[in-house]
Each structure stands twice: as structure tokens, then as C-alpha cells.
Amino acid sequence: MSMPDENDSVQKRMHEGYASNLQRPEIAQKTEQAKQDDRRRAQHFQVRLGKELADQLQHYADAHHDGVKNAALKMILSKFFNGK
């Protein structure tokens, strides 16, 4: 893998790293689930929320998604980026 260019996206560099890692013997022997997890890693995000924002997210999740915060957060982000 070459040195990352400033214009390369993080996702592209992560995918390139994933592709080059597949050649390593210890990674080539991974289970299918582990390989799938590696492919999804670029789509995984973690954030720390302040108390007030976390409480608001939990309230929204309780009201609209049976308390499932991940589903609520996906909906909020989808509405934000899709303008719906």
C-alpha cells in the first residue's frame, strides 16, 4: 500500500488496507463472519454524546423506535442527509 494522498478518502484508504490485509495468512484464515465484519468496519461509527443530547436521543428512540437507539439514530441521520 502506498502512502496516503491527502485527497484520498478515509474509506478508500481503509478499503485498500483491507484488501492488502487479505493477503496475510492469519487474516486469510478468518471465518466468513470475521471477514464480513472487516468489510463493514468503514461503515461503523462511534460517538460520545453529552448528557442532554443522549437523553433527547433516548426519548426519541422510546417514542418512535421501541427504545432502540441505533434505529432512531439511523432515522435521524437519514432524514438529515436525505432532506426528508
Rounded distance between C-alpha atoms, residue 59 and residue 3, angstroms:
45
Based on the domain organization, do 30 and 55 belong to the same domain?
no
- Please report whether residue 37 resides in a domain: yes
- Please report whether residue 21 resides in a domain: yes
- Please report whether residue 30 resides in a domain: yes
Rounded distance between C-alpha atoms, residue 48 and residue 57, angstroms:
12
pTM of the predicted protein model:
0.52
Rounded distance between C-alpha atoms, residue 20 and residue 70, angstroms:
31
- How many domains does the chain divide into? 2
* Nine-digit cell string for 49: 454524546
Based on the domain organization, do 57 and 77 belong to the same domain?
yes
> Does residue 16 surpass a pLDDT of 70?
no
Rounded distance between C-alpha atoms, residue 50 and residue 60, angstroms:
15
**Per-residue pLDDT tens over the stretch 17-43:** 666 666 666 666 778 888 888 888 888
- Please report whether residue 4 resides in a domain: no
Rounded distance between C-alpha atoms, residue 12 and residue 19, angstroms:
10
Based on the domain organization, do 55 and 39 belong to the same domain?
no
What range defines the domain where residue 62 resides?
A: 51-82
